[in-house]
Chains A and B, each alone.
Chain A
């Protein structure tokens, strides 16, 4: 459970004690906890998933203690800028729009986005096919950006977490949804809940909104941290640990090209 600081003075003293980040200092990592199998929460409260494992591995290699800070997705970037944590490891795509506010390391995986709808839905995954249909996306994601751009005729419905999108899709309130294809497969289609659903059409082609893959996010002024993190990603790729983590959750290589 997170500590509850009710007196501003006490919090201030603690903050003064931590000082500026140097080697050996804990690395505060922003994570989501609602995006299986990249990150989710067990019933007893522990965080698990590919993103979580990457975070722990990165901290180990940087010789710093990992402090995982759970954050609601649509407040991720403001929270990073407000120094709630020092980096975001939560499957955040590297896009030009986001680069206006924050900086990214090199990518640590790249999977395409796809539409998901009921099997034999009766319409196709084009702009005209989705005209007037209810399309669900998670708020503040690249998928919201793509959906607004590629399917302007669809009725866009926004949710706080991807889990809520799946919930309403199964309830029949949505005709389709747009999200990362890997998370869609592992987190929904391969499960019992998703047995009546399937991908609709191919991967969408929208580099502008989708970006070039997911990376770790850092504040613009933390370029040394960014380079250190990028280096650890390369190290993790090089010595086989990446493959080990990858295979634990996914049947395919998610690094992409």
Chain B
């Protein structure tokens, strides 16, 4: 256990990188989820088709494969695009960016389903009442749709977030110096891989437990005034 204490700086640095990665991916996935959900609920069949293709693609491909494709292959494509259009000379796609974009892309599909289900759960009559009161669409969204959407989406959102935190471990495979990578190299140099991997597991449990507490608080706040079975 002393070795873990000795390398605590490295482990802490790695945890920070992991959390940053998770939050950035979450932001991207929420954005993609909102866009995807509205596309799936749109009247336009083309946008529905695109959104369906998106969720089908994500369901069919493991995150690590997309991540490697983006990290190794994406750099080449970005370069070719840059030289073809003449817009940029070199834009770096490092492990962090590859990780955020691939995890964000994958979880954007899951969030699409989450938000779609949540929006569908709002009684249509409330929206109609808003329209008849003369509310602008933005006001309807802010006052009626959003608070209820959050309430309905929370359980599924929580689940997605917990799965996302664990998915961030995969970015260590393409070389990002996150918690898992730092712990692996440290464990290998002192020849105690078990101790370090176990420490990583504990840290992840702490992260999921904290998220659990935080999201349960959110749940209570958005469910004020609602009778629960």
B-contacting residues of A (Cβ < 8 Å)? Answer: 1-2, 4-6, 8, 11-12, 15-16, 18-20, 34, 41, 43-45, 70-72, 75, 78-79, 81-84, 163-164, 167, 193
CB contacts (< 8 Å) of B13 on chain A: these are: 1
Given contacts A12-B91, A43-B186, 20 further A-B contacts (CB under 8 A): A4-B97, A5-B92, A5-B94, A6-B97, A12-B87, A15-B90, A16-B88, A16-B89, A18-B90, A20-B89, A72-B174, A75-B72, A75-B175, A78-B72, A78-B76, A82-B75, A83-B75, A83-B79, A163-B185, A163-B188
Contact A70-B175, Cβ < 8 Å, known A16-B88, A81-B76, A82-B76: yes
A4 and B20 contacting across the interface, CB-CB below 8 Å = yes
CB contacts (< 8 Å) of B189 on chain A: these are: 43
CB distance from B66 to the nearest CB of A (A): 16
A11 and B174 contacting across the interface, CB-CB below 8 Å = no
CB distance from B180 to the nearest CB of A (A): 13
B89 and A15 contacting across the interface, CB-CB below 8 Å = yes
Could you give, for residues 166-178 of chain B, a 1 whenever the CB lies within 8 Å of some chain A CB and a 0 otherwise? 0000000011010
A6 and B185 contacting across the interface, CB-CB below 8 Å = no
B188 and A84 contacting across the interface, CB-CB below 8 Å = no
Q: How far is B96's CA from A163's CA once the two chains are assembled, in angstroms?
A: 24
Taking CB atoms and an 8 Å cut-off, the chain B residues in 62-110 that contact chain A are: 71-72, 75-76, 79, 87-92, 94, 96-97, 100
A8 and B10 contacting across the interface, CB-CB below 8 Å = no
Q: How far is B70's CA from A82's CA once the two chains are assembled, in angstroms?
A: 12
B91 and A15 contacting across the interface, CB-CB below 8 Å = yes
CB contacts (< 8 Å) of A70 on chain B: these are: 175
CB contacts (< 8 Å) of B71 on chain A: these are: 75
Does B24 lie at the interface of the complex (its beta carbon under 8 Å from any beta carbon of A)? yes
Contact A19-B89, Cβ < 8 Å, known A43-B7, A43-B10, A72-B174: yes
CB distance from B174 to the nearest CB of A (A): 7
B91 and A1 contacting across the interface, CB-CB below 8 Å = no
Task: Name the contact of A193 in the complex, choosing from B92, B100, B174, B191 (C-beta under 8 A).
Answer: B191
Closest residue of chain A to B94 (Cβ to Cβ) is A2
Q: How far is B94's CA from A20's CA once the two chains are assembled, in angstroms?
A: 20
B185 and A41 contacting across the interface, CB-CB below 8 Å = yes
CB distance from B150 to the nearest CB of A (A): 25
Could you give, for residues 8-26 of chain B, a 1 whenever the CB lies within 8 Å of some chain A CB and a 0 otherwise? 0110010000001000100
A72 and B175 contacting across the interface, CB-CB below 8 Å = yes
Q: How far is B188's CA from A43's CA once the two chains are assembled, in angstroms?
A: 12
B185 and A11 contacting across the interface, CB-CB below 8 Å = no
Task: Name the contact of A11 in the complex, choosing from B24, B76, B91, B100 (C-beta under 8 A).
Answer: B91
